[in-house]
Amino acid sequence: MRFGRLGQLKHGYNAMTTRESDMLMDIGYQEMDENEIVEFEDPLQETAFVITTGDVEICWNGKKELMHRESLLDENPYCLHVPHGVKVVVKALKKSELLIQKTLNDRDFEPVFYRPKDVQADVFGGGVWQGTAERTVRTIFDYDNAPYSNMVNGEVIMTPGCWTGYTPHNHPQPEVYTYKVDRPQGFGCAFIGDNVFKIEDNTWSEISGGYMHPQCAAPGYAIWYSWMIRHLDGDPWKKTRNDLPEHTWLLEPDADSKIWQPHKK
């Protein structure tokens, strides 16, 4: 497990994890200036390009699409997902940023361009535990809609003052979280096993298989994070979730009645 801090992103590629680590994925942010053109082609790895801010023109296999995003909190993403060996050309129409995820995959599949309407978005936790674990979960692709991939890619919006990844749970597959906070001074907490780290803008968590990983946002601050999972050979992540047994009482129908509340005067 590891927790990293990028601070202010620099122009070009800002690396976070590598496939040589136990995360098994190359992950980083690509910062682009207006009118800049960057070409990508990986002979071994599948790649997902998710826009986080700006406007880009993205081209592959004779096709061309536009990706636009102003708000991480309020807008579903665009994403292009391609197999190994596909050349992708990105032109920034203004200053823009992409999150790039790669991993080894020798399977061929048709590239998929996901628009915001294609992204599943759900609100979880709103009706339990006095609303303290409400969050928006977006799934771009996982085993259900992309069984040919070795990756999972999605996003979560942490409601200010609330928890995500709750109840505490783990799974065998490695997972990476990359965080952005809606205000420069904003913060939260990330748990990896028994260790706690301070979430700030452009930080990330590397979560090895078997470690619990809940987290929370400080009151007043919304936090966006990308969640990216690497399937294991013969053991893909199929919404795999092993809840820690000491916390499963929170999943009982009458759990709210057992949670202490302050007396109202």
pLDDT in tens, 64-80: 999 999 999 999 999 99
Predicted confidence band of residue 263 (pLDDT cuts 50, 70, 90): confident
- Is 1 among the domain residues? no
| pLDDT tens per residue across span 89-102 | 999 999 999 999 99
Average pLDDT over residues 33-54: 98
- Is 24 among the domain residues? yes
pLDDT recorded at residue 139: 98
- Is 20 among the domain residues? yes
Query: Domains in the chain: how many in total?
Result: 1
In a 10 Å sphere around its CB, with 0-12 CB exposed, 13-18 middle and 19+ buried, how is residue 93 labelled?
A: middle
Q: What CATH number is associated with residue 85?
A: 2.60.120.10
pLDDT recorded at residue 38: 98
Average pLDDT over residues 129-138: 94
List of residues 6+ apart from 245 with CB closer than 8 A: none
| pLDDT tens per residue across span 44-60 | 999 999 999 999 999 99
What is the number of residues in the chain?
265
Return the amino acid letter for 205. Answer: S
List of residues 6+ apart from 174 with CB closer than 8 A: 22, 23, 24, 25, 206, 207, 208, 209, 229, 230
pLDDT recorded at residue 151: 98
- Is 262 among the domain residues? no
Give φ, ψ of 262 to 5 degrees: -65, 145
pLDDT recorded at residue 212: 96
Distances (CA, A) of 133 to 20, 89, 125, 161: 34, 40, 5, 9
- Is 85 among the domain residues? yes
Q: If DSSP codes are grouped into helix, strand and coil, which group holds residue 38?
A: strand
pLDDT recorded at residue 188: 98
Instruction: Answer positive or negative: Cα dihedral of 32, 33, 35, 39.
Output: negative
pTM of the full structure = 0.96
Do 120 and 138 touch, CB atoms closer than 8 A?
yes
Average pLDDT over residues 139-164: 98
- Is 258 among the domain residues? no
CA 35-183-137 angle, to 5 degrees, is: 85
* 1 pLDDT above the threshold of 80: no
- Is 261 among the domain residues? no
HEC readout, 87-136: CEEEEECCCEEEEEEEEECCCCCCCEEECHHHCEEEEECCCCHHHCCCEE
Containing domain of residue 222, as a range?
6-251
Place of tokens 């092993």: 242
pLDDT recorded at residue 264: 76
Determine the distance from the C-alpha atom of residue 44 to the mean position of all C-alpha atoms in its chain, rounded to a whole number: 22
Place of tokens 């081209």: 59
- Is 94 among the domain residues? yes
Place of tokens 């509340």: 261
Return the amino acid letter for 66. Answer: L
Predicted confidence band of residue 127 (pLDDT cuts 50, 70, 90): confident
Do 205 and 193 touch, CB atoms closer than 8 A?
no
Predicted confidence band of residue 126 (pLDDT cuts 50, 70, 90): confident
